[in-house]
Amino acid sequence: MAAPGENMRVNADRLWDSLMEMAKIGPGVAGGNNRQTLTDADAEGRKLFKRWCEAGGMTLSVDKMGTMFATRPGTDPDALPVYIGSHLDTQPTGGKYDGVLGVLSGLEVIRSMNDLGIRTKHPVVVTNWTNEEGARFAPAMLASGVFAGAIDLEYAYSRKDPDGKTFGDELKRIGWVGEEEVGARKMHAYFEYHIEQGPILEAENKQIGVVTHCQGLWWLEFTLTGREAHTGSTPMNMRVNAGLAMARIVEMVQTVAMENQPGCVGGVGQMFFSPNSRNVLPGKVVFTVDIRSPDQAKLDGMRARIEAEAAEICEALGVGCSVEAVGHFDPVTFDPTLVSAVRKAAEDLGYSHMNIISGAGHDACWAAKVAPATMIMCPCVGGLSHNEAEDISKEWASAGADVLLRAVVETAGIAE
């Protein structure tokens, strides 16, 4: 019998089966998932995760943002827990692995420790953060942002989805308002395992991303006010065309991002026209600009330039323009000790690995504000994510989970 921890690997088949089981909940239309936060599908996924955690001997606690914390006790009840977290909510046309891989790999770490008879000094807690995606209720990483004290609970409860439903009402409707104060619990360390959602690891043929940093983000929500008018009978020189202003701003965002290369991105993923009728010039256009960079000065410089040039574009067209920052976090540097634990685990396991900066935002970015935190990444096919065709291999999935298991056990300490 190997000493506890010697043959420390997860059960790859069991992890894969759990991923495929969860993927059946909130199916998309093209093989992915539409399990948006606080929908009935989200509630069903939560129930399944709760059942699995309890079957694994864990106890569940829920906070006032609905975030789920499943605890496996350690031998030292006074020791702060080591957390493993990510999210079960998906984009409307999401993949089966974004977020879910991290939560279910955390569960697999617990299941594997149970199988291997490993007892740790620090407790280990697996976390499902509410509303990581920010697709239905902006901003992204909402619950972890409240947990880190960066976002106010009442503000979070007030956020509205496109149908005007509030976060607070929807959380109550699905029955997942917990008792626990958000952010009351303290962490010894936080790990998040996630697909890369970009092309680098696959292109470099590396199994493991040792995540050292995450780029920062601004979500700038523009509201442009034009004049509703007939698209046929209104002469061109009489138009107050908010749609044209929006088009010029989207083009300008592209220009600003390209002029700030390398190391930044900018684009628009969502826009609303009102009244959104084919033969009515829009009276109102609302859209969100998403800009990101690992460089703080570049990120903030892009924001300032985009807001200034958008105002000029709108003024020239006589279009009203207001902008609100509806999402933000600064670039993140992850904890060097935990980053080294991840790198050592990959080396001990003989997995190819490289340092990487996360392009996407994650709950780990907020966790890093209140505890030592870091991330592990695995490749994804073609770097594709936020697309139902998002794909990974079972081998990629379990390699990262093996690294997670070893890094967590190393950090939580094997009890004598």
315 is in an annotated binding site: no
User: Among 43, 171, 207, 187, which residue's Cα sits nearest to residue 126?
Assistant: 187
* x-or-dash string of contact with Mn ion, 51-90, rule CB under 5 A: ----------------------------------------
Amino acid letter for position 379: P
Paired with 209 in beta bridges are 354, 377
Residue 99 near which of Mn ion, ligand HGY, none (CB within 5-8 Å, type-dependent): Mn ion
Q: What tokens appear for 74 in the block? A: 């350690």
Of the two residues 99 and 168, which places its CB atom closer to ligand HGY in the complex? 99
* x-or-dash string of contact with ligand HGY, 59-78, rule CB under 6 A: --------------------
Of the two residues 208 and 252, which places its CB atom closer to Mn ion in the complex? 208
Residue 140 near which of Mn ion, ligand HGY, none (CB within 5-8 Å, type-dependent): ligand HGY
Q: What does the alpha-carbon distance between residue 80 and residue 124 come to, in Å, rounded to a whole number?
A: 9
The three-state DSSP-derived secondary structure of 261-299 is: CCCCEEEEEEEEEECCCCCEECCEEEEEEEEEECCHHHH
> Within positions 349 to 368, which residues make up the interface with ligand HGY, using CB under 6 A?
360-361
Residue 391 near which of ligand HGY, Mn ion, none (CB within 5-8 Å, type-dependent): none
How many residues interact with ligand HGY (rule CB under 6 A)?
Answer: 6
Number of other CB atoms surrounding residue 107 within 10 Å: 24
Stretch binding Mn ion (CB under 5 A), from 46-54, 60-68, 92-100, 268-276: 92-100
Amino acid letter for position 310: A
Q: What tokens appear for 140 in the block? A: 């992204």
User: Among 136, 151, 143, 140, which residue's Cα sits nearest to residue 65?
Assistant: 143
DSSP line for 37-100: TTSHHHHHHHHHHHHHHHHTT-EEEEBTT--EEEEE--S-TTSPPEEEEE-----TTB-SSTTH
Indicate whether 372 belongs to the interface with ligand HGY (CB under 6 A). Answer: no
Q: What does the alpha-carbon distance between residue 226 and residue 283 come to, in Å, rounded to a whole number?
A: 5
Residue 134 near which of ligand HGY, Mn ion, none (CB within 5-8 Å, type-dependent): ligand HGY
One residue of 26, 45, 74, 99 binding Mn ion per CB under 5 A: 99
386 is in an annotated binding site: yes
In this structure, is the dihedral angle defined by the CA atoms of residues 382, 387, 389 and 394, taken in order, positive or negative? positive
63 is in an annotated binding site: no
Stretch binding Mn ion (CB under 5 A), from 8-16, 96-104, 210-218, 286-294: 96-104
Of the two residues 218 and 396, which places its CB atom closer to ligand HGY in the complex? 218
362 is in an annotated binding site: no
Q: What tokens appear for 204 in the block? A: 């470099």
Of the two residues 123 and 266, which places its CB atom closer to Mn ion in the complex? 266
213 is in an annotated binding site: no
Of the two residues 234 and 387, which places its CB atom closer to ligand HGY in the complex? 387
Indicate whether 98 belongs to the interface with Mn ion (CB under 5 A). Answer: yes
Indicate whether 196 belongs to the interface with ligand HGY (CB under 6 A). Answer: no
| C-alpha to C-alpha distances, 156 to 38, 50, 144, 235, 363, nearest whole angstrom | 13, 24, 11, 44, 15
Contact criterion met (CB below 8 Å) for 177 and 67: no
> Within positions 120 to 139, which residues make up the interface with ligand HGY, using CB under 6 A?
132-134
| Binding region for Zn(2+) | 87, 98, 133, 194, 386
Query: Which positions touch ligand HGY (CB under 6 A)?
Result: 132-134, 140, 360-361
Query: Which positions touch Mn ion (CB under 5 A)?
Result: 98-99
| Binding region | 87, 98, 133, 194, 386
